[in-house]
Structure 1
């Protein structure tokens, strides 16, 4: 895939761009999946934001540089009215799926349609009708995934400008991501010197078509949705990055949060398990006293921990440990209203993590002692 999308000088107006019919001839190299929702005004706003996308240098993208899959998950009139209003002025081809229920089913249907249209070489992006992507949103996702070094990228979701919406959830996600970078860093998750933003929302997400196909599409069910897709990628040691600058403006519904102390314990446990798995302790190498202490702390026998670590990928091993450990499986999340308190705790824990960072930098074969 080329490292950037084709671009042209900015047209005098959107009406100067070719219509959808002329563009719908060849598979686009990037396809945006957009759940239509119930508000025609919000859908129009999102489509117009996509119509003025630029490349990373600021030039307008060429007509047909990417396509859009619209998923009607509300009244049919919402989609029909939006497309009738914009007519042939949209500089990208649009395909509309059959109506589907809202939620994960809509996302699955849209991604399936996008994969069938663009094939495994395409970059598939997802957003929602209420979101307004920034001008370089598509280009930044394509550039990040073009070289094949990453499997998926997660963009940022910021409150709409001029509203009183709080960004507390985003600040908390960034604090937990900074904690992870100190305790058990993921080398794929950020460029050197950058801090991952930590957000994970279908309003700003992109994945390579070949990766989605290999996973069998978006999982559906209690453990499905975007979280299930990311979990499946993590199990196979997928390369996922929280991408700075890939932003959309959107209002996000309040969601439950992982307590800061639980995140601290989970990250320390993951680092220890990673060290044991890397060294083959409990599988190919003899159990150590440290190994047995961690097994007890996780509520497992040494044999059960060793069995979980026999997986060929670390992601599979960590998933097995997380499922077997009663300590890790008991994830009692907190309501959104707990954010102010948990942000303070996360900052205190982050300061503590910075103090013990030299210990966290020890060789992987010598995991940190249980806290």
Structure 2
């Protein structure tokens, strides 16, 4: 019996684990001796950031919730490590799967390796080159102790090879987040309420912002919002507001008639908005992947990206954090002059199956 502990803690993790759990379950039902235990670290602990994803993506109820949410990054890391160590001692697996680049990824991989348990990192090898990002630190530390890397791109493979990772530990499988996207597209649903009822397909923009460089400075945040509103014609702009951003928006009193600030949306609602938008303006990495596959113009307000394939083969364009850079690309979107999705290798909806087949091959 292959016993696997799968770790999830924050919103981006849930889209990535859902197809993996399904692929394990499918193998189990056909007679393969494989089992998983799902550990929710509790890093994101409110319903919109966590609970809705379990319901909408048919993720089974976690076997345990470590309830390690809240506090500073150091406090959260410590709480996850203490609780996860107890979990692994009580229920020791053959393999721990961590996904992405959040605090839970780093904390749980360290605990597993200290207990001499193999770690597989789904989305291993991606790099932004920006050490001011907590996620970049998490990626580098996790990858430095990982046993098996399930990668989303050839670029990630090269990053790992360049630091001496053996080829037989690198498994190019594609992107499980795209598995989730493709398997749920028919289930996307329009959000309900006055903010959404009058929206017309391809006649509104969606924005998301949460990175410190964009939202922590009041003047920077105001300048970005003003530039977005000045560059989006007469179209409504839907802004699901991250909790971090909401605090600063309150301070500066943003007020634009076309700007519709809403609470964070569920997975099926948010991706409905993206799929039908004229364009997306974001500082998130994951949204650039989803927008690309759905062939929606995407502007990223960052100086770097850990997902360069969304720029070279996708619909993403990196413009930096200077608000004045928004005018020209927004003008091209309004004119219908944006590039189209070229297709990214192995982003085909079958990544989780490849992961589980490789695990069975290694651990049987």
For the criterion TM > 0.5, the same-fold answer is no
The structure that has the greater radius of gyration is 1
Q: Normalising by the residue count of structure 2, what TM-score does the alignment of the two structures yield?
A: 0.30
| Length-normalised TM-score, structure 1 | 0.30
